[in-house]
Structure 1
């Protein structure tokens, strides 16, 4: 009898553990289904917003030819629209961007519509630089933007070393005595190093003109959030805010 009682007790414990494990798995499946449902509901809405932004971009820039793709690694339409609207409202004379691409075309077209200003685009990849130059030519925008070959070189910022754009071409290209009115940061690629885009702060923020604006793409990523915290400490004169963009957009403005 004691043997039977002991066996029964162990069997009951086993059943309870099995029930608990099963309930745990059911709960996980329930949560997963909710996540899938939310993703299924939000993805079409997000795509619709990007289509709206792309349509707005074509309308506001009066584009007669197609832009390159805006999915994957490229800047999203809503971020490009933020750049275009600021550029047309603020009418910057000197625009610098880290990484060339569709944003170069959007900013150059904004300069053309404004009737003044120049875009200087730092690009470390020769293939991308060539592609952007061809697109500028196709859109008739070569007079409003310059793609600068700027290979990534080891550079010291603080106590650490980063692979970052060689700035000699930019220094030679910028108008003497004129600060940067608008800065767009969408490079280097995240894979180059942790906090890959941090050097834009110490390298370019001191060159900003009064009232300048800095746009940071991919601002939702952990690295970019860490960078913004560092910049908040190191450059307290730049007020930080956000824009509701697909990949996150941070705006830093000098008073």
Structure 2
């Protein structure tokens, strides 16, 4: 009997030790996650401050959390647009990036943003923001409902290009849509649909490039469009940059 009691006590002590160790490790994970979150938040605040400084906006920008583009990605777009001075910028999905890029065009004194938007509500919101910042002459939100496009044996819901000028030469392409919930690799069609319209030395920016879907898309594009050189920028959600060689 004493042996049984001792065995039970030992098992209880081992169980308590196991639970304490698990709690200890969890606390370390929470500490590390908290540090990572604080560092990430600080970087986004720095990028947002840099964005306001470079754009010199009088009115505040829309929120940059949730589905919206992050400040560090927007800052990458701003710096490229200000230095490269693109004549035609095309966006897949409208929003805060439309306002930011339109302001870049205004500061450059040249260029136009054409933003494909499938959701009428978001399109109206973006147009309101453009008017609020007096940028409506520098960007146009194109109503582009998602419609089926066929490649091989697969159907892809992607933007209608009926309102995009047929002969447009794209100097800067920003891909931040359609939403991931549309289907797997939802942003893949931007390649076969728009890359042939890229101007010489054009640059493509892909947001959310750290996600598995976007990584798979980049691999497909690497095989199908070898003339586009791929690189990455250190952004919160991932940022891939594709550059067209001459």
Q: TM-score, normalised by structure 2?
A: 0.92
Q: State the 1:103 CA deviation.
A: 0.1
Q: Deviations over 1:136-187 (max 9, x none)?
A: 1111111110100000111112321111001111135xxx3x4211000111
Structure number with larger C-alpha Rg = 1
> How is 1:20-99 mapped onto 2 (pairs within 5 angstroms)?
25-99=19-93
Taking structure 1 as reference, are residues 170 and 15 closer, same or farther at Cα in structure 2, changes over 3 Å only?
A: farther
Q: Kindly indicate whether residue 95 of structure 2 is the aligned counterpart of residue 105 of structure 1.
A: no
Q: What residue in structure 2 maps to residue 232 of structure 1?
A: 222
Structure 1 alignment gaps of length 5 or more: none
Give the CA RMSD over aligned residues: 2.0
Q: What residue in structure 2 maps to residue 242 of structure 1?
A: 232
- DSSP-derived class of the 1:33 partner: helix
> How is 1:88-167 mapped onto 2 (pairs within 5 angstroms)?
88-167=82-161
Q: Deviations over 1:77-105 (max 9, x none)?
A: 11000001000011111100000000000
Q: Deviations over 1:176-220 (max 9, x none)?
A: 3x4211000111111111111111111111111111111111111
Q: Kindly indicate whether residue 206 of structure 2 is the aligned counterpart of residue 216 of structure 1.
A: yes
- DSSP-derived class of the 1:170 partner: coil
- DSSP-derived class of the 2:163 partner: helix
- DSSP-derived class of the 2:110 partner: coil
Output the CA distance in 2 between the equivalents of 1:62 and 1:23: 58
Taking structure 1 as reference, are residues 17 and 207 closer, same or farther at Cα in structure 2, changes over 3 Å only?
A: farther
Q: TM-score, normalised by structure 1?
A: 0.89
Q: Deviations over 1:82-137 (max 9, x none)?
A: 00100001111110000000000000000111111110000000010001001111
Q: State the 1:28 CA deviation.
A: 3.9
Q: What residue in structure 2 maps to residue 193 of structure 1?
A: 183
Q: Kindly indicate whether residue 170 of structure 2 is the aligned counterpart of residue 180 of structure 1.
A: yes
Output the CA distance in 2 between the equivalents of 1:23 and 1:206: 63
